Amino acid sequence: MTVAIDIHNATKRYGDKTVLKGVDLTVDAGTVTVILGPSGSGKSTLLRAINHLEKLDEGYVALNGELIGVRVHGDRLKERREKDILRQRAKIGFVFQNFNLFPHLTIIENVSEAPISQGVKAKDAREHARTLLARVGLADKEDAYPRQLSGGQQQRVAIARALALEPEVILFDEPTSALDPELVGEVLSVIRTLAGSGKTLIVVTHEIGFAREVADRVVFVDEGVIVEEGTPDDVLSNPRHRRTQDFLSKVLA
Amino acid sequence: MTSALERPEIADAPPEAGTAASVPPGIDLRKLAERKVVPLRHPLRWVVTALVLVLLLNFGQTLFTNPSWEWQKVGQWLFSPAILKGLQLTLLATAISAVVSFAGGIVVALARLSGNPVLSTLSWLYIWLFRSVPLILVLIFLFNLGNLYPTVGIGVPFGPQWAVPTFTVLSPLVLGVIGLSLSEIAYSAEVVRAGILAVDQGQLEAAKALGIPSRRQFSRIVLPQALRSIVPAYVNQIIGLIKASSLLFYVSLLDLFGVVQNLGSTYPTDIIPLLVVATIWYLVLTSAISIVQFYIERFYARGSVRELPLTPLQRVRRRLAGIRSTVQGNTLA
């Protein structure tokens, strides 16, 4: 298997608080990795560092061997120009907890915005957007505005939007946490279909059942470090570490 | 405390169906439940309304009975060439200043919000200065620019200079518009800044995550959403600007107010009708802008409300359709 993402010594501080303490993680191409952890454990920060929405104080993230957001400058890592970072982000899809759809644009405009901004012809971008909307089951909603859709539908649009640039990696930051319980299923099922498509997925979630079923690997993060990682069976059914056991007993209770 | 324990039979007794504590005896609540609830009446409201109407009608009557209003003269002056010329100047100066200050306001607001400390300090200073100095002072200052800087030009500091006399490049109108814009930019920058700050931070994050180029992040994602809160505040500014343009009179430009002032001293007996004429035109201008505002706001409300408010025309149509259907219903019955 080839390594898609290589994270080394990821360290992030907010003032005196260190939220990531030198995290090392590699993710193989085409696999699904689920990141679990209590709130405030640094799991979202880790995810956001992968596409440089969060700048690391030390350490790096590499996608297929290319450093994201930084470059080698003499004997240091130096931050890249915003323009270059934006270009790199196009290879990494990101799905937010609160969807963050553009409320003033229609569904199809939301999905085709990024490709058009990168120079794809409007007609082709819309064509592609239609295919993606059909894939997430929202072909009939292309002229609606985000607020006219349910939360589950909005998140499916957000997934289609993240897919529009055909990224190799898609990051999901608690994609179902803002949804009513009965809408969680439709979003998870869309993510499930992506899991078999060869894309590399990294999902921060509290859906243990989903992790057990879909993940190739589960990573448990607490207090800015990776406490335990392995197959869903290892981590979820036979957790070795005390903190993992505590967390699971609380979540599954 | 113990009463409930002492009399358990009261607490436990299930209420008989169709009764409640507050129902007088002999009334069947179930029957009342089938009838429409009578809304609360507001008799005092009617009294106040009547009182206000009487006062208004009294005033309305004087408009016709008091000969000093001289409505005939108002009619004569309303479209007189001199007044229309003043109106034209008011419109021109306001329109140019409004456009210039909006563009300038965006620039100053972006400078203020930028990470560059020099730019943001400069922008803060600009806003501080022009919000502090009265517009009339700015205008009179500008009209004495010829005394301060007899020539304007550009050159290398301490090197060669290219310059022309100040008043050959800057006509009074240009100076007036510059004066209006300079002070208006300071206010509109704050209006624009407030609008930008009101856009959810997640929008910018989503745009960044999608790799949308910085300039397009602003023009396509942030600004359209900011405009929703900018437009009402900025229209307010423009209305203020229309009236502020009457200060141009003090630097010998004949705007609507200036013309009325001049005519008033030439025809002192017509001062009341002339003031009425000016009032009417300012009302017309403000109303026109309010109508435009309605449609612009409606445009930028796309996506923020589930259903757009009806335009007045749509409302009239619905009402007519409603009347028509009831009329048809009545004739059929």
Residues B172-207: pLDDT tens digits? 899 899 999 999 999 999 999 999 999 999 999 999
A67–chain B nearest CA distance, Å = 16
Give pLDDT, residue B208: 96
Would you list which residues of chain A are within 8 Å, Cβ to Cβ, of chain B? 51, 53, 82-83, 86-90, 92-94, 96, 98, 100-106, 113-114, 117-118, 145-148, 161-162, 165
DSSP per-residue codes, A168-209:
SEEEEESTTTTS-HHHHHHHHHHHHHHHTTT-EEEEE-S-HH
d(CA B170, CA B177): 10
DSSP per-residue codes, B110-142:
HHHHSS-HHHHHHHHHHHHHHHHS-HHHHHHHH
DSSP per-residue codes, A112-127:
HHHHHHTT--HHHHHH
Q: What is the pTM of this model?
A: 0.81
Give pLDDT, residue B2: 46
Asked if residues B89 and B254 have their Cβ atoms less than 8 Å apart, the reply is: yes
* A82, closest residue in chain B (CA to CA): B214
List the single residue in B212, B300, B303 with the smallest CB-CB distance to A114: B212
List the single residue in B210, B225, B306 with the smallest CB-CB distance to A104: B225
Give pLDDT, residue B16: 59
Q: What is the count of residue pairs from A and B with beta carbons less than 8 Å apart?
A: 78
pLDDT above 90 coverage of chain B, percent: 63
Locate tokens 């909006």: which residue? B102
Rg, chain A, Cα only: 18
d(CA B310, CA B320): 14
* A149, closest residue in chain B (CA to CA): B306
Would you list which residues of chain B are within 8 Å, Cβ to Cβ, of chain A? 200, 202-203, 205-214, 216, 220-221, 224-225, 228, 300, 302-306
Residues A197, A200, A204, A206, CA torsion sign: positive
Give pLDDT, residue B152: 76
* B222, closest residue in chain A (CA to CA): A102
Burial code (b: 16+ CB inside 10 Å, e: under 16) for A97-134 equals bbbbbbbbbbbbbbbbbbbbbbebeeeebbebbbebbe
- Taking an 8 Å cut-off on Cβ atoms, the answer to whether B212 and A161 are in contact is no
Task: List the single best residue of A102, A108, A147, A163 to mutate versus B (max B Cβ within 10 A).
Answer: A102
For range A102-129, the mean pLDDT: 96
A149–chain B nearest CA distance, Å = 10
Residues of B in contact with A103 (CB under 8 A): 225, 303-304
Helix axes B201-209 and A82-89, enclosed angle (nearest 10): 70
Residue bearing the bigger pLDDT, B149 or B135: B135
Segment holding A61, helix H or strand E: strand A58-63
- Taking an 8 Å cut-off on Cβ atoms, the answer to whether A165 and B210 are in contact is yes
CA angle (B180, B186, B192) in 5-degree steps = 120
Asked if residues B151 and B164 have their Cβ atoms less than 8 Å apart, the reply is: yes
Phi and psi at residue B80, to the nearest 5°:
-70, 150
> By C-alpha distance, which of A22, A5, A1 is closest to A13?
A22
d(CA A205, CA A174): 5
A161–chain B nearest CA distance, Å = 8
The string of pLDDT tens digits covering residues A127-177 is 999 999 999 999 999 999 999 999 999 999 999 999 999 999 999 999 999
Residues of A in contact with B306 (CB under 8 A): 147-148
SS3 A41: coil
Question: The complex's ipTM?
Answer: 0.93
A23–chain B nearest CA distance, Å = 22
- Taking an 8 Å cut-off on Cβ atoms, the answer to whether B306 and A147 are in contact is yes
